[in-house]
A = this chain, B = another copy of it.
Amino acid sequence: MKIIDGKKISNEVLDEIKVLVGHRVKNNLKIPHLAAVLVGDEGPSQTYVNSKIKACKRVGFQSSLFKFDKSISENKLINEIQKININDNIDGFIVQLPLPVKINQEKILNKVNPDKDVDGFHPLNYGKMALGIETFLPATPAGIIELIQRSNIDLKSKKCLVIGRSQIVGRPISILLSQNKIFGNATVTVAHSKSDNLKELCLDSDVIISAIGIPEFIKGEMIKTGSTIIDVGISRVNDNSSVKGYKIIGDVDFKSVSDKVGYITPVPGGVGPMTIAMLLKNTLKACSLKD
């Protein structure tokens, strides 16, 4: 079993970004600036946003937080987003999801200036991604690709199972890995809640990318010996022994697969840290495109 160390790899990516920011400073080029829009403060959203801002500091980016009360109206929020859209000092921004239920998430994401859409969720950028055109790739799939590439895992002609068809993970990673790109060319299957025989599908796969959010769902008996597992699941389960009162568990029963698996990403410390690194990489790109 080889652990794909997302913490280490994400630090490499962040270090590379920091070096590039240093070059920009030396050359009197604009310092990248990432903004985050946060509505309300329920759930782990505030924590996620804080991590993003902390990462900005680490690489020398500017950052801003636009925080709104959960009572904000859809129109007012659109208005605020349009201000950020035309603010030349901000290169990229994200709208932290989920939004309060009364706000139409799709409508809001459509209002983000595609040139600043460093999450890659605007339909225009999503379409480019699906068409294989250069754009901002959504951060989590981009992070998975980075992990695979830096671990020298070649997916060409490999049978790859993506479990989950979400817009932010399952769908884009399934498209990307089957494209005719250096990191792609896998034979990709997308499984989801309506799929039968998930065990059989797993056993038949060289690579499993799991993004279903069911703690320790994938057991050793479900996988092929030597397979690669990318665990995108993040579930909080109660843990009285922890200071926080909970621990983070992935989709994979790590212990049970450890004798059979080839490469595996741990949770935490696998895909998670990569997501922020790739978001910053997109922001650097958004800034550089304006040079």
Contacts and interface: CB of A to CB of B under 8 A. Distances in A.
A196 B125 contact: no
A222 interface: no
Contacts of A99: none
B175 A187 contact: no
Contacts of A178: 165, 190, 192
Contact of A187 (B156, B167, B195): B195
Interface string A186-200: 011111111110000
Contacts of A193: 180
A192 B187 contact: yes
Interface in A103-157: 106, 122-133, 156-157
Report copies per complex. Answer: 2
A73 to B, nearest CB: 22
B188 A189 contact: yes
A208 interface: no
A99 to B, nearest CB: 16
A185 B180 contact: no
A162 to B, nearest CB: 10
B185 A194 contact: yes
A193 B156 CA distance: 11
Contacts of A122: 127
B192 A189 contact: no
A42 B201 CA distance: 45
Contact of A123 (B128, B165, B191): B128
Contacts of A195: 157, 187
B124 A194 contact: no
A192 B178 CA distance: 8
B131 A167 contact: yes
A171 interface: yes
A49 to B, nearest CB: 23
A201 B132 CA distance: 25
B187 A190 contact: yes
Contact of A165 (B127, B179, B201): B179
A127 B114 CA distance: 12
21 contacts: A122-B127, A123-B127, A123-B128, A123-B133, A124-B124, A126-B131, A127-B129, A127-B130, A130-B175, A156-B194, A157-B194, A157-B195, A157-B196, A171-B175, A175-B175, A178-B192, A180-B194, A187-B190, A187-B192, A187-B201, A189-B190
